[in-house]
Amino acid sequence: MLVRCDLNVPLAEDGTVTDAGRITASVPTLRALLDAGAKVVVAAHLGRPDSGPDPKLSLAPVATVLGQQLGGDIQLSRDVTGPDARARAQQLAGGKALLLENVRFDPRETSKKDAERLALATQLAELVGDKGAFVSDGFGVVHRKQASVYDVATLLPSYAGKLVAAETRVLQRLTKSQQRPYAVVLGGSKVSDKLGVIESLATQADSIVIGGGMCFTFLAAQGFSVGKSLLEADMIDTCQRLLDAYCDVLRLPVDFAVAGTFAPDAPSEIAAAEQIPADKMGLDIGPGSVQRFAALLSNAKTIFWNGPMGVFEFPAFAAGTRGVAEAIVTATAKGAFSVVGGGDSAAAVRTLGLPEDGFSHISTGGGASLEYLEGKALPGLEVLNT
């Protein structure tokens, strides 16, 4: 059985895993297959290797954590589909797992040429033999047309794993059967990264809260000075168009924690949205914005959150993200259906020590979630037999 997992987890400088969320999410499918006696070959990636193998992006630390969570050592091949991977796959016993080395060490994985991707996919399929099957359980990559995500599913009987099936059900609920009021919370640094989903959800949601670095481009579109804050000057006209078209849906911060430098120990002060000093930059939304957004979220029956409200990695600028997240937890406790859209939002939940069970669902795929909600086809889902 070939299983594509998403084990792309953050690593510390010493190579240790700092957030095992995606590893943990992969365990149920792998556990079920192993308990059934299957020989499981796992394909996964880590980071974005420039060209070929990079020791710093080896899956070795991931294999250690995965083994701990599955209750036994996991073999790690020294190559992707080379001699070591083939030998280990051939000798693999039932109920045991083999993790292939970082599949992106082979540049064919992400090639734009169909023939190159298919060649790698063929070699991956050969690792599990003629009677093998493919299980897609890496939701964070199903929006990519890559060899281990898409092409291999054209060669083997292919199925959705527990994680992919669960993620899909949640997103279908958000798009087809959400209860109202429906509130969306979007953060992150760039409007350009979220433009498609803003335009799509603005016609579906009752309110869209916009925070993070991208909100400053919206403020600039309103004619406000944003000091040294993040700004996409070429997106100001687009933001103006969005504000004109969806003024009754889009909600912007009213104040910010601002500082003179981008540093964890930078002295800060609270400034109104229309009074950001020229020599300061906004690093978090302010208490007035948290109060405004919390009041809005308190009435929501469905909530989708993707993107932090500020630089939550710096404790001094984490209050905005924490406050909004806690408001979502409170709304969830009152019966709202809440989805954390993966990526930095999921990392923020764990970094800030927020209760993971305080949200209805924490996705493992930020980009995939956004593209699904935007209405885009996800190649890794469409290719599956079931």
What are the residue numbers of the active site?
Answer: 22, 190, 343, 367
343 assigned ligand-binding residue: yes
260 assigned ligand-binding residue: no
8 A C-beta contact, residue 279 and residue 310 = no
Nearest alpha carbon to residue 148 among 126, 112, 120 = 120
Q: CA 248 to CA 234: how far, in whole Å?
A: 24
22 assigned ligand-binding residue: yes
117 assigned ligand-binding residue: no
Q: What is the DSSP string of 267-284?
A: -EEEEEGGG--TT-EEEE
Q: CA 120 to CA 53: how far, in whole Å?
A: 16
344 assigned ligand-binding residue: yes
345 assigned ligand-binding residue: yes
Beta strands in the chain (DSSP E): 2-4, 40-43, 75-76, 97-99, 134-136, 158-160, 182-186, 207-210, 250-251, 255-259, 268-272, 281-285, 302-306, 337-340, 361-362
8 A C-beta contact, residue 3 and residue 42 = yes
313 assigned ligand-binding residue: yes
45 assigned ligand-binding residue: yes
194 assigned ligand-binding residue: yes
- Taking each helix axis from N to C terminus, what angle separates 191-201 and 236-245, rounded to the nearest 10 degrees? 20
104 assigned ligand-binding residue: yes
48 assigned ligand-binding residue: yes
26 assigned ligand-binding residue: no
Q: CA 172 to CA 299: how far, in whole Å?
A: 22
In 130-214, alpha helices (H): 162-176, 191-201
8 assigned ligand-binding residue: yes
Binding annotation for substrate: 6-8, 22, 45-48, 104, 144
Binding annotation for (2R)-3-phosphoglycerate: 22, 104, 144
Binding annotation: 6-8, 22, 45-48, 104, 144, 194, 282, 313, 342-345
Binding annotation for ATP: 194, 282, 313, 342-345
